[in-house]
Each structure stands twice: as C-alpha cells, then as structure tokens.
C-alpha cells in the first residue's frame, strides 16, 4: 500500500513539471509573437519613411538643379552688373543639392549618394573660377558654357534617379 501512494505522488510530481515547462514555453512563444508583430509594424513604417524621404530628396534636387540651370541662361557673356549675384544664387542651389545628397547618405549609409560627390566638387571649382574672372573683369564666356554644360549633365543625372 505504501508503494501505491508513493507511486501516485511521484506521478503527480512528474505531471506537474511538464505543465510548468509547457506554460513557460507558451509564454515565451507569446512574447516572441508580440515582438514579431511590433517589429513588423514599426519596421514597415521605418522602411516607408526611408523610401518617402528619398523620393522627396530626389524631387527637391531636381527642382534645385533646374533653378540653377535656368539662372545660367541669365548670366551675361561678359562681366555683367548682376553676374556676381546670379553666381551666388547658382552656388546656393548647388549647396542645397549637395546638402540633400549628404542627408541621404546619413539615412542610407555610404552607398546612399544620389549623385557622386566629385560632380559637386567640379561645379564648385567652375563657380570659383567664374567668380575670380568676374572680380578681375576678364571674359567669362568659356566658363559660362562650361557651367551650363556641367549643370545640364547634373540635371540629366538627377532626372535619371526616378
């Protein structure tokens, strides 16, 4: 009889342990399921934000580039009275595009350049040369042609980003 009671009590102890293990397993599975759902919701929003930000950046770069290209048409072939001001406006549009490019790199990492940085460096060099020729009163026709060609090339690059 003693054996019967000990067997029964041992059986009760052993049946309680699997229930506890099953509860712990179910709780862990529930926590993992909730974590996956939250990750899907918030991760999807983050990916949507990045795509929307890049589209916005591209549109803004296109606008800035087109505005800068339009301004090159108003430059005079000789050192005109408002040429220095126009060069300043073109430089500000170029700076805005460069900043947008850097912001996209900040969001996407090193591979996030919309336009290669060398393009901006070359354009800044042309603008510096143009400004120097304006100060000295030299002819700016060649630089205006070079500036227009470089900005047209940049506009083509930016328009291909769509």
CB 73 within 8 A of CB 156: no
Task: List pLDDT tens digits, range 15-31.
Answer: 667 788 888 888 888 88
Average pLDDT over residues 128-132: 91
CB 148 within 8 A of CB 134: no
Distance of CA 50 to the CA centre of its chain: 7
Set out the domains of the chain in order of their start, with CATH numbers: 49-159 (1.20.120)
Task: List pLDDT tens digits, range 3-16.
Answer: 555 554 454 455 66
Q: How confident is the model at residue 101 (pLDDT cuts 50, 70, 90)?
A: very high
């Amino acid at each position: 009889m003693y054996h019967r009671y000990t067997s029964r009590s041992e059986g009760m102890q052993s049946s309680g342990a699997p229930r506890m293990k099953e509860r712990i397993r179910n709780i862990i599975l529930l926590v993992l399921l909730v974590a996956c759902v939250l990750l899907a919701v918030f991760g999807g929003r983050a990916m949507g934000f990045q795509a929307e930000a890049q589209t916005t950046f591209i549109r803004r770069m296109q606008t800035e580039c087109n505005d800068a290209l339009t301004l090159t048409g108003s430059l005079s072939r000789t050192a005109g009275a408002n040429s220095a001001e126009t060069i300043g406006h073109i430089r500000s549009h170029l700076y805005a595009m460069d900043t947008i490019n850097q912001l996209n790199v900040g969001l996407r990492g090193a591979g996030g350049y919309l336009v290669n940085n060398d393009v901006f460096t070359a354009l800044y060099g042309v603008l510096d040369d143009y400004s120097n020729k304006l100060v000295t009163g030299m002819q700016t026709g060649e630089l205006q042609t070079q500036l227009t060609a470089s900005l047209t090339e940049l506009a083509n690059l930016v328009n291909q980003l769509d």
